[in-house]
Structure 1
């Protein structure tokens, strides 16, 4: 029965191990190909990286055995051949499987590689070395995760900042794709105050959004928390769920747009809505930016003014049949249908019919407080624009 010792392998054993290192690496890769289906599916260049690392690992075993007392520098020695590429291509669990296979192959060849009587010495050295390699592997992946996390945070901040500044380009989609953003999805921007007393306002928003299977980018712009949601589901429902993660005050959602390349449109509307939301203290939370068109237009938002013209004033002018006249009469009478009917000499049922037609065209009801307010602002601004055009 062989006795286990703590002696390092002799020079004779190490020379034999050196000579066999090439064939051992080849056998290890062949075993990986046989036992690991995901390894077989890897592209040729990535398989070659693994081969390089296996060869470097066995060569490092020889050097480690020659100086067992020296501090291990295995991160550079073993993974120096292809650290970044390997970490990107192979998950940590898969790398552990690769190390396990390589160690098993070396252990199986101990009897033929070691000098007579030194089989247990070499076997023990392999086991100790495999532990050191495991620690080195963890260090490589931890370092990569830390640097990748810092890079992702900077890239995410750049994307969100570009949207806030109104940038619209295909580059945004490419940058977001590097952060795991799915291509061809809808997008929606949500803005509100950054929560006070929270060290990381990004975390709760991310967890909530991802729990709802939604892509998400989060940034802090000045004192505002800006969230970009993406996916194929109901983004407005997700926005309602994450609104609890904002600070005090209004939370405004921009319109849903087709892809991240147009998310700047949603961001512009949401930010304009947030600036104007103080004019509607009873607004729901979150509130859609389109529900604040009147306040936004009065606050000087040209997009809101154009939207009121296009979506409200123009359809009413084009409707004919007394629709515009009836809406104006109802607004002037404070919503009294009978008084409106008398003012324009029609039956009250005619007023109701025309108001229904106006609601179909604009989505606004002249008898609803918010609807009548928005209609009134839209028509006043349209009249001012028309008068201004006459003067010029």
Structure 2
């Protein structure tokens, strides 16, 4: 459309000017009748919207009066309260507001326009409404950009608070502002930062967008060479991270344990960061790995929490009085290099007894000694337990020596009695363990 336009007659200009108050009142009435969202606003918010509508009509009248033809500037309509408007009314609702005002003015064209000015008034209204729509989009874009920058700063402060283990009122306030006040099932995730054109911001945005496609909330920042994410609202964090692993750089991605809420995420963060530092000790570490799978490496790297966990999960259950045979069997099995027959010979028991005890060791600790990596984790846990003095560990050599000594003493005497003594202890133990094995199998 050309910028040149015919000027309205004096009668049309005066009629439009006199109708300002009436048009604003009609616009408010029509919004109340046809716009549900307007009716649901508070009185203060309705007043703000009404002021914007009235400012728009006044601006249209001033522009319609101008003698020089140039495109109208409607940005000043939103200048007084853009933040209040963008917080209470969405861009779509603002366009509904513009459409309502245009409909009201168009419905009064015949009574306002002088002879021959009807088409001019309609075109002026449509042209001005277009400028209002563009102005509204500009206001909302600016507000969204400012809010995004502020949210990014809040996000960084919250993640930094988690890394520091802080759970004070300031962190709670920031988390609530980000909508994380009530988010449950939180997992800390850390990996390397990918090489993305445009810097770190696209990497963070890509990760956040990919995670939210799985219905999971995410806070994400880049800290030096590490890409950090805090996932919330899922107990399947491992599956989600495997789906979005391309958003991270090369190397392992480590997940800390899932905790109930954000204010307990410091524990998850410490485990994940410790796991990432120790992952280099595992040559075949998976791309996505949980921090608990790296307990042995973390313990060797000096993580006190990992050492305590290993002692509690491995040594403490086996060092109890009721599991003395299991501790002896685990030690002998590891010392024999995982050889079942050699373990049975060193303990003077049947191989089926060793198999049965290995199953009970797995039940007690969660680790299967027949799997080399889990066997190594148990070996580290037992060593840490011995160093900590958490229980007594009878070495298999001493047990074997003691049993051999009793056998030697039993051979001194009558030949018949020596054979009976030789068979009695081992046969009784074998029958006991075989009975337990058959009950378990049945």
> Normalising to structure 1: TM-score of the pair?
0.89
In structure 1, the residue matched to 2:244 is 242
Structure 2 CA distance for partners of 1:311 and 1:8, relative to 1, 3 Å: farther
- Give the whole-Å Cα distance in 2 for the aligned partners of 1:289 and 1:133: 55
In structure 1, the residue matched to 2:134 is 135
Cα distance, 1:112 vs. partner? 3.1
- Any idea what SS the aligned residue of 1:258 has? strand
In structure 2, the residue matched to 1:305 is 307
In structure 2, the residue matched to 1:30 is 29
In structure 2, the residue matched to 1:123 is 122
Cα distance, 1:197 vs. partner? 4.5
Q: Deviations over 1:78-131 (max 9, x none)?
A: 113421121122221221111000111022123334456644443333222212
Between 1:359-368 and 1:193-202, the stretch displaced more is: 193-202
- Give the whole-Å Cα distance in 2 for the aligned partners of 1:272 and 1:58: 63
In structure 1, the residue matched to 2:361 is 358
- Any idea what SS the aligned residue of 1:201 has? helix
- Give the whole-Å Cα distance in 2 for the aligned partners of 1:170 and 1:326: 52
Between 1:345-354 and 1:88-97, the stretch displaced more is: 345-354
Cα distance, 1:41 vs. partner? 2.6
- Any idea what SS the aligned residue of 2:389 has? helix
Structure 2 CA distance for partners of 1:146 and 1:373, relative to 1, 3 Å: same
- Give the whole-Å Cα distance in 1 for the aligned partners of 2:101 and 2:150: 33
Cα distance, 1:306 vs. partner? 1.6
> 2:254 touches 2:290 (CA, 8 Å); kept in 1?
yes
Q: Deviations over 1:134-188 (max 9, x none)?
A: 2211211121122222222222222223223333346545434444548332111
Cα distance, 1:363 vs. partner? 1.0
- Give the whole-Å Cα distance in 1 for the aligned partners of 2:374 and 2:45: 62
- Give the whole-Å Cα distance in 2 for the aligned partners of 1:244 and 1:130: 45
1:88-127 map, 5 Å: 88-114=87-113, 118-127=117-126
In structure 2, the residue matched to 1:327 is 330
- Give the whole-Å Cα distance in 1 for the aligned partners of 2:116 and 2:246: 70
In structure 2, the residue matched to 1:175 is 174
| RMSD of aligned alpha carbons | 2.4
State which of 373, 379, 382 in structure 1 corresponds to 2:385.
Answer: 382
- Give the whole-Å Cα distance in 1 for the aligned partners of 2:387 and 2:290: 26
In structure 2, the residue matched to 1:390 is none
> Normalising to structure 2: TM-score of the pair?
0.79
In structure 2, the residue matched to 1:266 is 268
- Give the whole-Å Cα distance in 1 for the aligned partners of 2:197 and 2:366: 40
Structure 2 CA distance for partners of 1:337 and 1:173, relative to 1, 3 Å: farther
Between 1:257-266 and 1:109-118, the stretch displaced more is: 109-118
- Give the whole-Å Cα distance in 1 for the aligned partners of 2:235 and 2:186: 10
Cα distance, 1:304 vs. partner? 0.8
Q: Deviations over 1:235-284 (max 9, x none)?
A: 21001112222211221111111122222221111110000000001011
> 2:238 touches 2:288 (CA, 8 Å); kept in 1?
no
Q: How many residues align?
A: 382
- Give unmatched runs, 5+ long, in structure 2: 391-442
Between 1:111-120 and 1:55-64, the stretch displaced more is: 111-120
In structure 1, the residue matched to 2:56 is 57
- Give the whole-Å Cα distance in 2 for the aligned partners of 1:194 and 1:97: 43
Cα distance, 1:198 vs. partner? 4.1
- Give unmatched runs, 5+ long, in structure 1: 388-392
- Give the whole-Å Cα distance in 2 for the aligned partners of 1:15 and 1:315: 94
In structure 2, the residue matched to 1:251 is 253
Structure 2 CA distance for partners of 1:318 and 1:174, relative to 1, 3 Å: farther
Between 1:199-208 and 1:355-364, the stretch displaced more is: 199-208
Between 1:79-88 and 1:112-121, the stretch displaced more is: 112-121
- Give the whole-Å Cα distance in 2 for the aligned partners of 1:131 and 1:352: 81
In structure 1, the residue matched to 2:214 is 212
- Higher relative contact order structure (alpha carbons within 8 Å, sequence separation ≥ 6): 1
- Any idea what SS the aligned residue of 1:320 has? helix
- Any idea what SS the aligned residue of 1:87 has? helix
Cα distance, 1:40 vs. partner? 2.4
Q: Deviations over 1:339-390 (max 9, x none)?
A: 2233233333332222222211221122221111111111111211228xxx
Structure 2 CA distance for partners of 1:197 and 1:24, relative to 1, 3 Å: closer
